[in-house]
Structure 1
Amino acid sequence: MPQSPNHPAYWHTLPRRHGDRVRADGGSAANDMLVMGTHVGTHIDALAHVSHNGRLFGGADARAAGEGGFYRDHGVHTIAPMVCRGVLLDVPAALGTEVCEPGYEITVADLETTERLQGTPVERGDAVLIRSGWGRRFDAPDRDTFIGHDSGVPGVGEAGAQWLAGRGVHAAGADSIAFERLAPGAGHSSLPAHRVLLVESGVYIVETLDLEEIAAQKVHEFTFVLSPLPLFGATGSPVRPLAVVAGPAAEDGRG
């Protein structure tokens, strides 16, 4: 799968396959081994993930916080399971397009227009998921398309992150590899939204979300469910977040 060049790759292998060892009664078992970074695929960023000027959220010394090889106070194990109101802000739909342009910065005006047109005002404690349409690029034949180093990736910038923090959201997510806007050719050289949310505001970030199905069904408000793996002291965790909805989308098993 496409992934950020900043993190160890996902690797899966079968150290034992069916038939490698067969019991006397004919039974056999297969097992797996995974090697991966905690920021690969759909995942959540813990507050330990980003520092600024040597400080983590709350002013903690970033170097001292990681002594011993783990982050006791800011690690992903400190994130409680989330069951809260979720809001999908489908920005391309509000702008009258299918996908935001590469490198496009989703502005505060875009966010406010989207919540107004959808009738889903963002409230304190929400998990706000911002669709740019970039998730459609995840399965592109060329993995670099989704990563978007040369083309850029759409997303919020510093102003959009400040808007989210000002609304008091609990978590913010997007359908792109770094949550925020990546300028064409710049890669991950500057991530101001991470600073605003993780370091300054204590807002968790969820990246590489699949938002296409709920967007197609125009599901803009739902119960958001997410529980990270309690990896003690880790800077993030792979997750499988769910949008729990009532009505037809739930009845056909897609809720």
Structure 2
Amino acid sequence: MERENMPTTAHTSAGDPLLAAVRAGVTIYDLGRRLYAGMPQSPNHPAYTHTLPRRHGDRTRSDGGSAANDLILMGTHVGTHIDALAHVSQDGKLFGGADAAGACVGGLYPEHGVHTIVPMVCRGVLLDVPGALGLESCAPGYEITPADLDATVKHQGVEPAPGDVVLIRSGWGRHFADPDREVYIGAESGVPGVSEAGARWLAERGARAAGADTIAFERLAPGQGHSVLPAHRVLLVESGIYLIETMELDELARDGVHEFTFVLAPLPLFGATGSPVRPLALVSAHGREAPQG
């Protein structure tokens, strides 16, 4: 079920502002994490594994050419990924009041699956919470409150608007490459992020999607893991707002980029509850967001 029907037509005339921005120079920030075996992930999902069932030299053509092929196994909520509306239910209901059991047809979600998410080319806003609070990172288990979000908006001078993708930086992303992957997962320490009140703040501003540099988007209380996820309920089930998790947001914050053109396209996995993604932030050579046409 497409929550909103956004235009996807590309204009190629000589006067197109998107083409002009590309010619003038665009800085591309890669907001996706590298996928590799052993990376930190939620224990609720199948881990990423990669192998080569065919290697160079296993079979050689008559002209000396050879090829290598891959086999990948992973959950759709591993690494940087987007949650579809089929991912979370509350009291047996999905977004729009759909019956969660009835919405699943033959093991697929034809009306709520990730294939229904229209590719995003829109305004993106980074809310660098620790940057606004004068911190390197939010503390383990820290709840990012509406007051924190208001303070960040005031500090940055960039206000989220309806239809934007809003990215919340907690600073926790610096732990992603820690040799002990349990540090990033934070089951015992807790993980900073918004909870119910912060999620309602985002919903009230009409965000199209919300993302974070943490494994479950929202605050995880110390020692509680994924036992309760109220922000998922508020955003996915009550508001139809997609969630993007495990993002790389430190480079944007380092360069003071708080407004940009956001680009994301999920894999069209029919009926799936989520998809790996590689979101991008585009900024013109003059430090302003690239125009969108």
TM-score, normalising length from structure 1?
Answer: 0.97
Q: Which residue of the other structure, out of 242, 246, 249, is the alignment partner of 1:211?
A: 249
Task: Please give the secondary structure, in 2, of the residue aligned with 1:77.
Answer: helix
Q: Distance in 2 between matches of 1:70 and 1:244?
A: 34
Task: Please give the secondary structure, in 2, of the residue aligned with 1:63.
Answer: coil
Q: Is 1:17 paired with 2:55? A: yes
Q: Is 1:88 paired with 2:126? A: yes
Q: Is 1:117 paired with 2:183? A: no
Q: Distance in 1 between matches of 2:186 and 2:74?
A: 21
What corresponds to 1:39 in structure 2?
77
Report the RMSD for the aligned CA atoms in angstroms: 1.0
Offset from partner CA, 1:134-191 (integer Å, 9 cap, x none): 1000000001000000000000010000010010000000000000000000000000
Q: Distance in 2 between matches of 1:91 and 1:70?
A: 37
Q: Which residue of the other structure, out of 62, 68, 73, is the alignment partner of 2:100?
A: 62
Q: Which residue of the other structure, out of 165, 168, 191, is the alignment partner of 1:130?
A: 168
Task: Please give the secondary structure, in 1, of the residue aligned with 2:53.
Answer: strand
Deviation (angstroms), 1:240: 0.2
**1:136 is aligned with what amino acid?**
R
Q: Following superposition of structure 1 onto structure 2, how do residues 101-180 of structure 1 map, counting pairs within 5 Å?
A: 101-180=139-218
Deviation (angstroms), 1:23: 1.2
Offset from partner CA, 1:221-245 (integer Å, 9 cap, x none): 0000000001000000000000000
Runs of 4+ in 1 over 4 A off after TM superposition: none
Segments of structure 1 that go 5 or more residues without pairing to the other structure are: 251-255
**2:54 is aligned with what amino acid?**
R
Count residues in correspondence: 250
Task: Please give the secondary structure, in 2, of the residue aligned with 1:159.
Answer: helix
- Alignment CA distance shift 1:249-1:143 (3 Å): farther
Task: Please give the secondary structure, in 2, of the residue aligned with 1:66.
Answer: coil
Q: Distance in 2 between matches of 1:249 and 1:100?
A: 27
Deviation (angstroms), 1:248: 6.2
Deviation (angstroms), 1:249: 6.9
Deviation (angstroms), 1:8: 0.8
Deviation (angstroms), 1:24: 1.5
Segments of structure 2 that go 5 or more residues without pairing to the other structure are: 1-38, 289-293
What corresponds to 1:27 in structure 2?
65
What corresponds to 1:226 in structure 2?
264
TM-score, normalising length from structure 2?
Answer: 0.84
What corresponds to 2:86 in structure 1?
48
Offset from partner CA, 1:188-214 (integer Å, 9 cap, x none): 000000000000000000000000111
What corresponds to 2:138 in structure 1?
100
Identity %: 74
